[in-house]
Amino acid sequence: MKVEYADGFLSLEGEMTAHELLDRLGLDFEDHLVIKDGSLVPLEEKIEDSSSVIILKAVVGG
């Protein structure tokens, strides 16, 4: 899968859940959103090897 996030771009092999992907990158699941092929995905959803993923940091303000 192709992954774009704050530290740049990665190419990872293998299927994993969105939660597993965040863990692998050392990112907190409470602070990040996972977008797969243009759609927001739940943490339990499997991400296929052929997917394009963008990880966004959630920003909260008041």
Domain boundaries, the chain: 2-57
Beta strands in 1-62 (DSSP E): 2-5, 8-11, 16-17, 32-36, 39-40, 46-47, 52-57
At 29 the pLDDT is 94
Going 60 to 39 to 29 to 6, the CA torsion angle's sign is negative
Burial of 20 (0-12, 13-18, 19+ CB in 10 A): middle
Q: How far apart are CA 61 and CA 48, in angstroms?
A: 33
2-57 pLDDT, tens digit per residue, is 999 998 999 999 999 999 999 999 999 999 999 999 999 999 999 999 999 999 99
60: pLDDT confidence band, cut at 50, 70 and 90?
confident
Question: Is the domain defined by 2-57 classed in CATH 1.10.8.50?
Answer: no
Q: Quote the pTM value.
A: 0.90
